[in-house]
Structure 1
């Protein structure tokens, strides 16, 4: 799944308007790799779905 960040930009973590790949969904939150190259969980309300293709297991 591809999602676009719609929150306030913070160049260390997330950039507004940038598309990120969801690597998993856990308890409804998206696990993505941020600008530091680390994977973290983020709440879905901070994103807009760009492509809802399923995540490969």
Structure 2
């Protein structure tokens, strides 16, 4: 599965705007994504962003490639 992060880049090893990332799965309200560090971390499915109070607004995910069940599309859909 693959997602694109759309939002302001943050952190040296976190997420970069408009970059496509490998998503390993959906865990509750989170996506397990291999970020710029090369490691997998959990990011919010509907408002990914920095956990620091640095004033950077959260971004969003665009689904590039989903699985047959449509898990990513359902996870990132804002209700």
TM-score tier after normalising by the smaller chain length: 0.7 to 0.9
Greater C-alpha radius of gyration: 2
TM-score normalized by structure 2? 0.60
Moved over 2 A (4+): none
Q: Show structure 2 runs of 5+ residues with no match.
A: 47-59, 69-79
TM-score normalized by structure 1? 0.78
Aligned residues: 55
User: Residue 21 of structure 2 corresponds to which residue in structure 1?
Assistant: 20
RMSD of the alignment, in Å?
Answer: 1.8
Q: Show structure 1 runs of 5+ residues with no match.
A: none
Structure having greater relative contact order (Cα 8 Å, sep ≥ 6): 1
Cα distance in 1, alignment partners of residues 64 and 42 from structure 2: 18
User: Residue 36 of structure 1 corresponds to which residue in structure 2?
Assistant: 37
User: Residue 74 of structure 2 corresponds to which residue in structure 1?
Assistant: none
